[in-house]
Structure 1
Amino acid sequence: MNERDFGAELDELKTQVALMQTQIERAFAERARNGAHASPTIAGDTAANHDELGSDGLRGALHYAGTFGHEQGLLKWEPQERAVELLLQFDSERAAKILAALGHKQRLDILRALLVKPQTGNALVDQLQMGTTGQLYHHIKAMAGADLLRQEERGGDYIVQPQRMLPILMLLAAANDLSDTSDYIEMTAAQERAGDYLGSADAGGHDPHVLLWAVLENSLMEYEGGHCTDIHLFLHGASATIADNGRGIPTTLLGGTGRTWLHSVMTDLQQLTARSAEVTAPGSAKGITMPVVNAMSAQLQVEVRREGKISRQSYKNGIPQHPLFVIGLTAETGTSVTFEPDPELFSGRFDIAQIEARFGAIRSAYPALNIHVHA
């Protein structure tokens, strides 16, 4: 009978473990060189990684996992990986069909309701206020045919297919990350229907003063609320600045949105959560709010003095060009908006005589307000 040499076996095991550790370290080093952990916001690091990768290098990978407490229990997804290169090569026609199948508000509402708990058709109609079961079953049939849903039994509860839950939740997560694009899509549509907001145009374009009056109205609203005593208008040729010493637009996060109050005030055309003042141009069908001014401006910059800080954000045709920056400290409060009307939509420059006439009327209406023009 041969005796085992445990010492030799232990040495061999140590050698194998050391080899595995070396391979793991090499794998992590290779991944780092391929930019898997590079932040896309750090331009220098990203550029360096692209240079190191070369034309045939990997583009990195996405890693994901998660848990989801469902009525049927806790679903757990082990860590998974998808190579970016494969995602970029995915059949775009198939991807478009998938997104189109889910790209309907009522279908997303149905999926979200069923992710919370399985429900019957009648319960879904009541919860989602769909009016008729026919409307519901039209969407149910399409999603069941795509293997997204199933019905436990005839007349029973509908349920999201367990193997589809993670991809659906990831799509909702991606949509949430892209939610601000819906505002920008609406702002682009507003530019295309500028006449709805700006009224009729002459041969050269619309009157740029309507944007000026809309910005000014927000400062006047602050005065009427007892929060502002001074308003200044500065003309810079094609652009203008209106500054007040009001409270300043809030820059804190707006609950449940992941965006600031300022961002919502400046970009949300629906004005669902944060509202700005509104003026109406002659012959227009819709009022001009701050998001409309932003959408119709080639460039706009807003500076807020509030809670001891000076914050600034810049836009082009309504799209933010950078996050909200804190650029200084101050004991003052107020908001300054500098904007340049889009020359493709507006004709001429600001007319000092017309502005002085408007400001004269404001001084008569509000004698205690200090309002000045700086040309």
Structure 2
Amino acid sequence: MAALSERVSHLEAMAGESEVAHSASPVVEGEQFWALTGLQSRLGDHPATADGAVMMVGSLTLPDGAPVAWQQGAGTSGMWETDWSDQAATFAALGHPVRLELLRQILSGVHATAELAETASLGTTGQLHHHLRQLVAAGWVKQSGRGSYEVPATRVVPLLVCMVGAER
């Protein structure tokens, strides 16, 4: 009876994971955890990944037609012992609705400050420049010319991963 109870508990746990996986990740040829399976197969016995690894990966086309593909990974060995406060400013820059809207607008193809200023939800020109400075300082945005901004290709997928990770 104990074995049956354990098996039912295991199946219930798997069913719960399956529901989350179905709604949160694309399925490739019927395999729900294809990215996870690939990561686990690459871990091997390398010391940097002895405790595991995390990875973000993405391939997309921006609304302006520009293709973006990026992957980044890190071993988790020693991650619990490091000071995470160094990343606070990077996350804080995303903590304002106007900055998120700015990022969305820039990724959608609106790059010029004058065009961004036409969007009423972004506030006054002074407020717009304040928010742009915060995003530039955190590395989410870079100036691509006088009065023109872009999200660096190396930040597009991490930004979208943060957005997906913030969903509840």
Which TM-score band applies after superposition, normalised by the shorter structure?
0.5 to 0.7
Q: Distance in 1 between matches of 2:81 and 2:65?
A: 36
Higher RCO, Cα 8 Å, sep 6+: 2
Q: 1:107 to 1:84 in 2, by over 3 A?
A: same
Is the Cα contact below 8 Å between 1:150 and 1:159 reproduced in 2? yes
What is the aligned partner in structure 2 of residue 74 from structure 1? 67
Larger fraction in strand: 1
| Correspondence for 1:145 among 137, 140, 143 | 137
**In the aligned structure 1, how far is the partner of 2:82 from the partner of 2:65?**
33
Shift of 1:151: 2.6
The 8 Å contact of residues 109 and 128 in structure 1, kept in 2 or not, is answered as no
Following the alignment from structure 1 to structure 2, what is the Cα–Cα distance between the partners of residues 128 and 62? Answer: 39
- SS where residue 85 of structure 1 aligns? coil
What is the CA–CA distance in structure 2 between the aligned matches of 1:166 and 1:107, rounded to whole Å?
17
Q: Cα distance 1:166–1:148, how it changes in 2: closer, same or farther (>3 A)?
A: same
Q: How does 1:36-185 map to 2 (within 5 A)?
A: 58-70=50-62, 71=64, 73-78=66-71, 80-155=72-147, 157-176=148-167, 179=168
Report the alpha carbon displacement of residue 159 of structure 1 after superposing the two structures with TM. 0.8
For residue 122 of structure 2, give the secondary structure of its aligned residue in structure 1: coil
State the Cα distance separating 1:152 from its structure 2 match. Answer: 2.5
The Cα shift of 1:160 comes to: 0.7
Assess if the C-alpha contact under 8 Å between 1:63 and 1:82 holds in 2: yes
Name the amino acid aligned to 2:129.
Y
How far residue 60 of structure 1 moved from its aligned partner, in angstroms, is 2.6
| Cα distance per residue 1:172-220 (max 9 Å; x no partner) | 11112xx4xxxxxxxxxxxxxxxxxxxxxxxxxxxxxxxxxxxxxxxxx
Tell me, which stretches of 5 or more residues in structure 2 are unaligned? 1-13, 18-48
Other structure's SS at 2:104 match:
helix
Q: CA deviation at 1:134?
A: 0.5
TM-score (norm 2): 0.60
Equivalent residue letter for 2:149 = Y
State the TM-score, normalized to the length of structure 1.
Answer: 0.29
Q: Distance in 2 between matches of 1:72 and 1:91?
A: 39
The equivalences for 1:1-375 within 5 A come to 58-70=50-62, 71=64, 73-78=66-71, 80-155=72-147, 157-176=148-167, 179=168
Q: RMSD across aligned C-alpha pairs, in angstroms?
A: 2.8
Report if the CA contact (8 A) 2:56-2:157 is conserved. Answer: no
Q: Which residue identity lines up with residue 112 of structure 1 in the other structure? A: R
Q: Which amino acid is 1:69 matched to?
A: T
Shift of 1:102: 1.8
Q: For the structure 1 residues 108 and 95, does the alpha-carbon distance in structure 2 shift closer, same or farther, using more than 3 Å as the test? A: same
Query: Larger helix proportion, structure 1 or 2?
Result: 2
Secondary structure of 1:152's partner?
strand
Gaps (5+ residues) in structure 1? 1-38, 43-56, 180-375
**Displacement after TM superposition at 1:86 (Å):** 4.4
